[in-house]
Structure 1
Amino acid sequence: MSKLKIPVHTVHSGILQENAVMLGDRSMKRLKIPAHGTLQLAFGSFRQEVTVVPVPKSDSLRVSEGLARRIGWNHRLTLGVSYSSGSRTLRLGPLIGVLVSRARPDNPDRLFGPITLFCRELTNVCQAQGAYVYFFTPEALETHSSSIKGWVYDEGWKKQSLPVADVINNRVTSRKVENKPSVQHFLADVKSRYGTHFFNEKFLDKTEVFEALRQDPTLQRYLPESHLLNGYAVMKRMCGQYASVFLKPVRGSLGKGILRISKEEGGGYRLLSTTPLGTRKQIYPTLTKLFQSIAPKMKTTRYQIQQGLPLMELGRRPVDFRALVQKNGTGKWGVTSIVARTAGGNHFVSNLAKGGTLSTVREAVSKSSLPAGVKESVQLQLPRAALAIARGVETFIPAHFGELGIDLALDQTGRIWLLEVNSKPSKNDNTPLNDQKIRPSVKQMILYCRYLAGL
């Protein structure tokens, strides 16, 4: 199968019949397409039998206005193209769909909320790389449909009917929405009918991740002791074994709802909890009393209890590291970026949503009190650990992931620990520390989509 990128132009329907396309003879030779024959034109789920008319000294593909309208094209574009002689199919694309939680048509500058700029960035990269992207919400989904009402950017956001995409990236940020029967039925339907690739299929639960990774002996060194909190007995044992423990909502994100329990020097136990205004501190005379105070929360929230770690600190503020690990243009995992995150002054978690600050790994490690020999080695070991964990998630959790946010920590001896794995890494939180207009993470995502689509 031959592949290349080609400009696509629309011409008046009077010049060109709707079931014919004009293709430059040089492109036809490179793609090994027979002249004046018929073939199937494919774009996502769209299929149309067309006659090919060769055009001397041209590198472009020309289609009629009517055909362009039916496909969903409304402006000039450049697309990847491949030809399969066996099926006589000329495929254009890749066509990429991004499933987002919601759209706000009344606020076009922030149509998709905080990820609107990411969506614009993605559109720009697609135009440069010969791909086509649209954005759609769960409300647009219909089972057994060959088209979707989606949003495209062309001098402003426009809604139009488009084919089902070759590749769909799941950016839904609500577990409840993701698990709707309409969403799950649609995804199963397009996978079976069109072979659509769907990545970052689901949210990850903390318990699920740690239990899965524990199956690989080589990953166990990164895993702090961690259990589902199912009663007082496990809390008593963990608090007896460690100076501090963390209680993390199994389905939490952005540092919300995390609790930290530690022993007081004069007796009793201290409970720290995250609030929008900072850290709340409560003292309990016994662990039993503390457990009784949080038991009502356990009726509505499942917690993971995890060994507390003596984390590397800067200015008495704990530091952790967010690695963005993505599949590349050959389908292999690679580390796109790692940044250090230092907790805000009145917080014990480092998320930017809680007032944390970003720095480079080198800057954070060099300012730390880690032993000199350790400082150099951990900068090599952090990406290796992130890659090993990503491969472990892929091996032991039956779902398709194309990118993962992996939160790592260093203790005060330089040992690397896994804190959590996020299958919906924030498009704001993991920005590399420079002002590039196009982030490497966005380019990498398109390369992986092209790999999946074979275009």
Structure 2
Amino acid sequence: MRNVIGILLDRKTYLGILQKQTGYEHIDYYNKAAIELEMTPFYMCLKHISTKTALGLCYENKKYTLKRLPIPKVIHNRAMTLSTFSQKKLKDLAKISQIFNGQNRHDKLRIHRMLRASSGSSAFLPSTIAYTRNNLDKAISRYDSFFVKPTNSSVGIGVLKVSAMPGQIWQVWWSKQIPKQLNKEQTIDFIDEKVRGKSYLIQKTIPLAMYEGRPYDLRVSVQRGDKGQWGVTGIAGKIAANGRHVTNLARGGEAMICENLFRSNGFDPIQKREQVEKAALQIAESLSEKIPSMSDVGMDIGIDDQGEIWLIEINGRDQRYQYKHLNLNKTFYRTYETPMLYAKYLLGK
């Protein structure tokens, strides 16, 4: 059998392979890349992995075969391991295999603190503090606008936005509700009730550049490739839906070619893209010094109305579908090919 590369999936995704019901995972692209690189993809989930072997699906000769094989030497992790059991099993697996992107859910406040200690990356960080009721009181005194975000969630779930209004009134956006207009004490009580007992942070609002009156940011796919070095595989714009404060496609946002967004704000599209790529690579290099297994991330990067670049957050399991929305099929494919190139590089080492 040719070089075997393990691809670790969530159980639901793994069970959907034969029915071609794998959600956001475009499994056919892994298969195509593996064929071109003369490798054999071996799809697994943690439930079917024992001490030394795994039961999984091999893709060979354009078909899947259920096999029990020795644990592959290199594994690309695409599973979300949130439970204590799954985290322990992944940790045990890492003792006998080189797992890249093993940790793919990153605490936002921890990431911020890591980057704040890096001289090269700290300039891209908006003001951010841990949530406490006391810190919320300070934020209301210091900022005209800020977000209160869960430190461990994705696709914009649980995010509150707070903005100052005339007359010492604060406007608070929460979920799909109509924004509330509250005084200071009411604002603090409302937010504290929503987040009490959970891990949240407070982040000063970036005055994002706008497109047709709607704020936008960028999803930047940053991955290690065939020589083990970081590269930017693709960039796509995400525009918030009318009246919304988050740009996530899953929350009604719209994908757009990033160069078109840059032009709409009078930015040089080639220069601005180069600046974004340079910033993303700097951030990736800084983080991988602290988290060595990090190798495949989606960064949400904002550009303010003056053209300055800001890191909004890091997504450890970039779902990549923004490129499919934009019919950027070559870029979409490369986001699957690049991790396979990196896997082959690791095998060669």
**TM-score normalized with structure 2 length:** 0.91
- Report the counterpart of residue 7 of structure 2 in structure 1: 98
- Report the counterpart of residue 83 of structure 2 in structure 1: 176
What is the distance in 1 between the residues matched to 2:300 and 2:16? 36
2:297 is equivalent to residue 297 of structure 1: no
Number of matched residues?
345
What is the distance in 2 between the residues matched to 1:385 and 1:106? 37
- Check whether the contact 1:257–1:274 (CA below 8 A) recurs between aligned residues: yes
2:33 is equivalent to residue 129 of structure 1: no
List per-residue Cα deviations over 1:272-318 (Å, max 9, x = no partner).
Answer: 0233xxx54112122x2222223233334211110111110001111
List per-residue Cα deviations over 1:315-338 (Å, max 9, x = no partner).
Answer: 111110111011111111111111
What is the distance in 2 between the residues matched to 1:452 and 1:105? 27
- Report the counterpart of residue 263 of structure 2 in structure 1: 366
Pick one of 350, 359, 384 that aligns with 2:278: 384
- Report the counterpart of residue 98 of structure 2 in structure 1: 197
Query: Greater relative contact order (Cα 8 A, min sep 6): structure 1 or 2?
Result: 2
What is the distance in 1 between the residues matched to 2:173 and 2:18? 41
- Check whether the contact 1:206–1:251 (CA below 8 A) recurs between aligned residues: yes
- Check whether the contact 2:46–2:86 (CA below 8 A) recurs between aligned residues: no
Aligned partner letter, 2:135: V
- Check whether the contact 2:10–2:80 (CA below 8 A) recurs between aligned residues: yes
Pick one of 69, 73, 93 that aligns with 1:162: 69
Aligned partner letter, 1:414: G
Pick one of 181, 189, 211 that aligns with 1:283: 181
Give the secondary-structure state (helix, strand or coil) at the position aligned to 1:211. helix
Greater radius of gyration (CA): 1
The percentage of aligned residue pairs carrying the same residue is 23
- Report the counterpart of residue 439 of structure 1 in structure 2: 333
TM-superposed deviation, 1:427? 3.5
Higher strand share: 1
Unaligned stretches of 5+ residues in structure 2: none
- Report the counterpart of residue 85 of structure 1 in structure 2: none
List per-residue Cα deviations over 1:389-440 (Å, max 9, x = no partner).
Answer: 0001112x23411111111111100010110011111132454642349711
2:130 is equivalent to residue 228 of structure 1: yes
- Check whether the contact 1:170–1:200 (CA below 8 A) recurs between aligned residues: yes
TM-superposed deviation, 1:382? 0.5
Pick one of 334, 353, 361 that aligns with 2:250: 353
- Report the counterpart of residue 19 of structure 2 in structure 1: 109
What is the distance in 2 between the residues matched to 1:335 and 1:299? 38
- Check whether the contact 1:318–1:343 (CA below 8 A) recurs between aligned residues: yes
- Report the counterpart of residue 144 of structure 2 in structure 1: 243
Give the secondary-structure state (helix, strand or coil) at the position aligned to 1:201. coil
- Report the counterpart of residue 115 of structure 2 in structure 1: 213
Pick one of 143, 151, 171 that aligns with 1:270: 171
- Report the counterpart of residue 301 of structure 2 in structure 1: 408
- Report the counterpart of residue 254 of structure 1 in structure 2: 155
TM-superposed deviation, 1:167? 1.1
- Check whether the contact 2:76–2:339 (CA below 8 A) recurs between aligned residues: no
Aligned partner letter, 2:231: G
TM-superposed deviation, 1:183? 3.0
The root-mean-square deviation of aligned C-alpha atoms, in Å, is: 2.2
TM-superposed deviation, 1:125? 1.4
What is the distance in 1 between the residues matched to 2:320 and 2:271? 29
Give the secondary-structure state (helix, strand or coil) at the position aligned to 2:120. coil
- Check whether the contact 2:109–2:130 (CA below 8 A) recurs between aligned residues: yes
TM-superposed deviation, 1:270? 1.0
2:218 is equivalent to residue 321 of structure 1: yes
Change over 3 Å in CA distance of 1:226–1:106 after alignment to 2: closer
Aligned partner letter, 1:214: R
Aligned partner letter, 1:254: V
**TM-score normalized with structure 1 length:** 0.71
Aligned partner letter, 2:55: K
- Check whether the contact 2:150–2:200 (CA below 8 A) recurs between aligned residues: yes
What is the distance in 1 between the residues matched to 2:191 and 2:302? 27
- Check whether the contact 1:152–1:158 (CA below 8 A) recurs between aligned residues: yes
Aligned partner letter, 1:246: F
TM-superposed deviation, 1:171? 0.8
- Check whether the contact 1:172–1:178 (CA below 8 A) recurs between aligned residues: no
- Check whether the contact 2:219–2:235 (CA below 8 A) recurs between aligned residues: yes
Give the secondary-structure state (helix, strand or coil) at the position aligned to 2:227. coil
Give the secondary-structure state (helix, strand or coil) at the position aligned to 1:175. coil
